[in-house]
A and B are shown apart, each in its own frame.
Chain A
Amino acid sequence: MGFRVGSLSATKASALVALTATLALAQPHAAFSHEIDLLVRDANGVPTVNAVAYAYPAAGDVSKWEPKPVIVDQIDKEFTPSVTVVPIGTPVYFPNNDDIRHHVYSFSPAKTFELPLYSGKPSKPVVFDKPGAVALGCNIHDWMVAYIYVVDTPYYAKTGKDGVARLENLQPEKYDVFVWHPWMRGKPEDYRKSATADGNTRVEFDVKLRANLHIRRAPALGGGGY
């Protein structure tokens, strides 16, 4: 994985997806490269994908960070990625890679906005300036759902298929660790744990998930399937 900071001209979304996390993690405290690994599982012990993990130093304020633009793409009438975690102040671009228009919106208190029917790449990004979960939808495609979780800390990560998220670039000190997931029952504060980043720390979270309440994707006109 290469560091291609700011290379937003990349056209392949998959590359961008991989970048989003590393962009944020490539912070000034790289010298203190301590880590905390989190394993997030549901009530059945199944590793939870797309869970957001973030941490605050137990003593003292978080360090400053410089927001970097992030992309939430729209490909084949789906948001990609479906969960994105950003620190406050991050500008997010919502390029439309489909040949139809989309109408991206959010009514979430953390960020209410609307990008009425558009195609291509909007000229301006949406800057997320309040912490909290922002649910994104498309007004003309009920099933299109994505989340942007805005945190006020530079220490964040997202679980992969193995349910593991790695918080990097930490000081060798004690952190309060939180997790969030779109279907999670309860608030991140309910899942708060303490962990010391001393090189080989692993914290396990068992989260209770609700059912996915989103609308199932409708069959395309003409019977094209999803």
Chain B
Amino acid sequence: MIRLRFKSFQSRILLFFLVLFSLILSATYILVGLANLSNAHSIIEADLKSASKIFLRLMDVRTGQLADSARILSEDYAFKAAFATGDLPTIGSALANQRGRIGADMIKLVSSEKKLIVGTDAADVSGSAFGYPGLIEMAADQGEAYALLVIGEETYQTVVVPLLAPAPVAWIVIGFKINDAVAKDFKKLTNMEVSFFQEEAGGKVGCFASTIPMRQRRPLLGLFQTGWKERKGDASELRVMGDSYISLTTQIGKTPGGEAAYAVLQRSLTRMMEPFVNLKKNLIAIGLAGLAISALAGIVVSRSVTKPITSLVEGVGRVEKGDYSTLVRVEQGDEMGTLATAINKMTVELAEKDKIRDLLGKVVSHEVAEELLGKDVELGGELREITVMFVDIRGFSARAEGLNPKEVLSFLNVVFTTLGTIIEEKGGVVDKYIGDAIMALFGAPVKHDDDADYALIAAIKIQEAVGSINLDLESRGMARMEVGVGINTGVTVVGNMGSMHRMNYTAIGDGVNLAARLQELTRRAIFDAKIVVSERTISKAKGNYLTRDLGMVNIRGRTEPVRLYALIGKSDPENPSNPKTL
């Protein structure tokens, strides 16, 4: 199954409404249609059945009237007298007179020997054998006989009665035509289409009268010739020339030869369903209008739901990008409003936190700020081996004497910015500024594998930077500056120190003190070293560095001497014999 994906919530709601509405409409439409069709079927079938009874009754009445007339004729003394003359023209004339009296379409007089005595039809030949001797025989047995006679192109409902003088002396055959006029009369009465079919020799069927226009009779006949007998007595649906008819076939009589004639009553289902066609149109119109209205309503409803959501999504998106300036505007008192309020509150808090983080990043180093923000701030520390660097601007005090305080601060800021940047680039953290000195940590609060290396490289970079600064100073005719760097790696206590209200993240301990002492050693001319590094740092470093062994040195405040090295540079792996000089 194809699964349609609609990204927007709004279109999903809309689709749901439309599909639901369409389903209900379609179901209604189909059910109403089926009910109407079934109703029309039932009505037509019931009408057809009563019309069929009416028709048979009508035929009975007409036949009965004919028989009554014939019986009166059979007792008519004058006619008997005329018959007794044996004079055929006289008898024929009397017969024609009688036909006029009773309004029959056909009248013949047949002898007991089944010979035609005289008839009113032009084709009648006196003395010829009557075509239906069995009919006369039947009348002789039963007093009278009824049959359908096909004479020429016409079908007659026929009654045979004796001419009683007063015993039967001849037989009066009298009939009325079943023709289009009869069909038309019947249609007037019942509003049904009626067609008459006659079985013919060889199992064929012919239509001899109908209310249906000629051009429609042939297709109807075609339909009836295939299996129509099976349909007798049951209403069935037939399509003729694009119109649907419900038909009912009723046998109306038989010829003396046993060939049955049928009346096929029909009512147009198409016409019966015409009111429903209008209803259908109205249903479709109502359906479409309803669909449009529900689409609009769906849009309105879904918008009322999705608009605040969209607004929230946009607001959260802005927050994600770091824009805390615009708050979400949802003026609703429902869950959406609550959610918006919560998001706004969160945004404000995030904005404050970000502001703090920003400020913290300026006051303390970025890593320390992250450390402080990342977890609950609490006093206390841990023992950790880190590399501590002290950087001191040499002869700053003398320089400061010749400058106003603003210039001093400006100069210091320039230098500190340059040196601080180098330290941070190398993964170090400026722990604090102590006058014209910098204390930097490598390995706290974030520990790296190469902290010792980073510290050494940072020191080298610092000296290089100082070289550049000196070039600049010289070009301005100012005195050079020197920077001494002391580096030691040792176990220290790192953590937040101070009070609950005011604390610093820093490192304390012998390792820190030693680094400060090593920086001080750079001032001693005998070492002639701008970077003094303890043996522990050199041993921790993984890279190769150019160093000069300063030997075991006694350090103030320490009982054991410490082996120190002057760091000269990073060995050039391609040309180790040509060390880069500081």
Residues of A whose CB lies within 8 Å of any CB of B are 105-108, 112, 133, 135-139, 142, 144-145, 147, 182, 185, 210-211, 213-215
Complex contacts, B83 vs chain A, CB 8 Å: 107
B142, B143, B166: the one within 8 Å of A136 (CB): B166
- B169 contacts A by Cβ under 8 Å: yes
**B164 within 8 A of partner (CB):** yes
In the complex, whether B490 has a CB less than 8 A from a CB of chain A is: no
Docked complex Cα distance between A213 and B165 (Å): 11
Contact A137 B166 (CB under 8 A): yes
The docked-state distance in angstroms from the alpha carbon of A135 to that of B169 is 10
Q: For residue B143, which residues in chain A have a CB less than 8 angstroms away from its CB? A: 211, 213
The reply to whether A210 and B166 contact each other, CB–CB distance below 8 Å, is no
24 CB < 8 A contacts A-B: A107-B83, A107-B169, A108-B165, A108-B169, A133-B167, A135-B166, A136-B166, A137-B166, A138-B166, A142-B164, A142-B166, A145-B166, A145-B167, A147-B167, A182-B167, A210-B141, A211-B142, A211-B143, A213-B140, A213-B162, A213-B167, A214-B164, A215-B71, A215-B166
Question: What A residues does B382 contact at CB under 8 A?
Answer: none
Q: What residue of chain A has the Cβ atom nearest to residue B85's Cβ?
A: A107
B81 at the binding interface (Cβ < 8 Å): yes
Identify which of B165, B166, B168 gathers the most chain A CB atoms within 10 Å of its CB.
B166
The answer on a CB contact under 8 Å between B167 and A139 is no
Contact residues of B with A, CB < 8 Å? 71, 75, 77, 80-81, 83-84, 140-143, 162, 164-169
Q: Taking CB as reference atom, which chain B residue is nearest A139?
A: B77
Whether A107 touches B84, Cβ cut-off 8 Å, given contacts A211-B142, A215-B75, is yes
Please state if B75 and A213 are interface contacts (CB–CB under 8 Å): no
Q: In the bound complex, what is the Cα–Cα distance between A135 and B71 (angstroms)?
A: 18
- Give, as a whole number of angstroms, the nearest-CB distance from B475 to chain A: 159
- Nearest-Cβ distance from residue B545 to partner chain A, whole angstroms: 151
**Please, which residues of chain B bring their CB within 8 A of the CB of A211?**
141-143
- In the assembled complex, the CB of B168 is this many whole angstroms from the nearest CB of chain A, namely 5
Instruction: Tell me, rounded to whole Å, the shortest Cβ–Cβ distance linking A217 to chain B.
Output: 12
**At the interface, is chain A mostly helix, strand, loop or mixed?**
strand
Interface-central residue, B77, B140, B164, B167, by most chain A CB under 10 Å: B167
| B165 close to A210 (CB less than 8 A) | no
Is the beta-carbon distance between B75 and A112 smaller than 8 angstroms?
Answer: no
Q: Which residues does chain B contribute within 8 Å of A139, judged by CB atoms?
A: 77
Q: For the complex, what is the distance from the CA of A215 to the CA of B71, rounded to whole Å?
A: 9
Residues of A within 8 A of B164 (CB): 137, 142, 213-215
List chain B residues, Cβ under 8 A from A147: 167
Shortest C-beta distance, A35 to chain B (Å), equals 31
Chain A residues near B142: list those with CB within 8 A: 211
Can you name 19 extra interface pairs (CB under 8 A) apart from A135-B167, A213-B164, A215-B71? Answer: A106-B165, A107-B165, A108-B169, A133-B167, A135-B166, A135-B169, A136-B166, A137-B166, A138-B166, A139-B77, A142-B164, A145-B166, A185-B140, A210-B141, A211-B142, A213-B143, A213-B167, A214-B164, A215-B166
Residue of B nearest to A141 (CB): B166
Q: Which residues of B lie under 8 Å from residue A210 when comparing CB positions?
A: 140-141
Give complex CA distance A214, B162 in Å: 9
**Complex formed: what's the CA distance from A210 to B143 in Å?**
9
Q: How far is the CA of A222 from the CA of B375 in the complex (A)?
A: 132
Q: Which 7 A-B pairs have the closest CB atoms?
A: A137-B166, A135-B167, A107-B84, A107-B165, A145-B166, A142-B75, A213-B143
Q: Indicate if the CB atoms of B165 and A137 lie closer than 8 Å.
A: yes
**Chain A residue with minimal CB distance to B166?**
A137
